[in-house]
Structure 1
Amino acid sequence: MKKKERQAEIRRLVANQAIHTQTELVMVLQEAGLAVTQATVSRDITDLQLVKVPDDQGRTYYTFSNDRPVDGEAKLRRNLRGNVVEMKLNDRFCLLNVLPGNGPVIGSLIKQMNYAEVFGVLSDDSSVLIVGNSVLSTTQIRTRLASLGAE
């Protein structure tokens, strides 16, 4: 099967059911008769710009980056509480050390909020780096995040 056809099938699957992991996506594709590997699916996820977002129970699933449900500060609050290990400030930087697996979701939610104080956000598996527009902005970011449960 060609790349375009395989990616069309992935789009259809993601649009019609909750796919929680790459492994699950590989299995569903294989059950549909497509011979795929984890590496191929990983590349397809990147190409299709799929992102993982939390559902109401906090479990993440794949969706399209332009279809991300934006539930605002309530969703950010839910993901910050209990997941932030440490918050540190240094000039224009606010670093959140979070429990493994939570960095991408929290980083994405902070980006979605479009806070005026935030210049940019970078995240990995267990950390979120928020760059403020100024030193004062970074202090405001810390206050805002602390009020949402990042303490």
Structure 2
Amino acid sequence: MKKKERQAIIRQVITENSVHTQTDLVALLAKAGLDVTQATVSRDITEMQLIKLPDEDGHTHYTLTTDRPIDGEGKLQRNLRGNVERIAVNNQFCLLDVLPGNGPVIGSLIKQMRYPEVFGVLSDDSAVLVIATTAAGAVQTRERLARLGAE
């Protein structure tokens, strides 16, 4: 099967199902008759620019990116409140220690905001590292995130 056909099926599967992990997606694709590896699915997710968004239950699921306007700062604010254990600045770095499971979502939302002082964002399960363009930018990021509920 060609990549375009496979990706069309992936679009359909994530539109019709709540897909939380790449493993879930591989299993759903197998049910649809596609034998793909997790590595192939991972490359397709990146190429298709799929994103994970929180649902009503607080879990994340894959979805298609969209051109319609979204309240990114509102989503960031909702995800920061009650989920940040500590926020600290050191030189050009702003580190958020977050409750387990929240790092990827918060990191992704910060990236989506495209704040001018942010050079890049790295996240794992329980931490988000915001790399600012300057030390002053890291302080500005900390203040911005604090206003949104990170403290």
TM-score, normalised with respect to structure 2: 0.81
Contact 1:123 1:129 in 2 (8 A): yes
1:123 match: 123
Q: 1:10 deviation in Å?
A: 0.6
Partner of 1:74: 74
Deviation at 1:73, TM superposition (A): 2.1
Counterparts in 2 of 1:94 and 1:3: CA distance versus 1, 3 Å: same
Alignment CA distance shift 1:131-1:68 (3 Å): farther
Structure 2 equivalent of residue 148 of structure 1: 148
Inter-partner Cα distance in structure 1 for 2:3 and 2:72: 35
Question: Partner residue of 1:35?
Answer: 35
- What does residue 62 of structure 1 align with? 62
- Give the match's secondary structure for 1:86: strand
Spell out, residue by residue over 1:41-99, the C-alpha distance to the aligned partner (whole angstroms, 9 max, x if none).
Answer: 23322332222111344321112345587322221111112222221111121011223
Q: Distance in 1 between matches of 2:43 and 2:116?
A: 33
Pairwise CA RMSD of aligned residues? 2.4
Say if 1:118 and 1:130, in contact at 8 Å, map to a contact too.
yes
**Structure-2 residue corresponding to 1:96:** 96
Equivalent in the alignment of 1:52:
52
Whether the 8 Å CA contact 1:53–1:68 is kept in 2: the answer is no
Would you say how many aligned residue pairs link Structure 1 and Structure 2?
A: 151
Q: Against the structure 1 CA distance between its residues 41 and 72, is the aligned structure 2 distance closer, same or farther, given a 3 Å change threshold?
A: closer
Q: Separation in 2 of the partners of 1:65 and 1:32?
A: 23
Measure, in 1, the Cα distance between the counterparts of 2:35 and 2:138: 48
The 1-side partners of 2:31 and 2:20 are apart by 16
In the alignment, what sits opposite 1:3? 3
Whole-Å separation in 1 of the counterparts to 2:91 and 2:131 = 9
Q: CA deviation at 1:135?
A: 2.5
User: Distance in 2 between the 1:92 and 1:35 partners?
Assistant: 45
Letter matched to residue 3 of structure 1: K
Q: Does 1:106 align with 2:106?
A: yes
Runs of 5+ unmatched residues, structure 1: none
Normalised by the length of structure 1, the TM-score is 0.81
One-letter amino acid of the structure 1 residue matched with residue 131 of structure 2: V
**Closer, same or farther in 2 for the Cα pair 1:50/1:91, shift >3 Å?**
same
Q: CA, structure 1 residues 30+67, in 2 after alignment: closer, same or farther (shift >3 Å)?
A: farther
Q: Using the alignment, how far apart are the partners of 2:59 and 2:133 within structure 1? A: 32
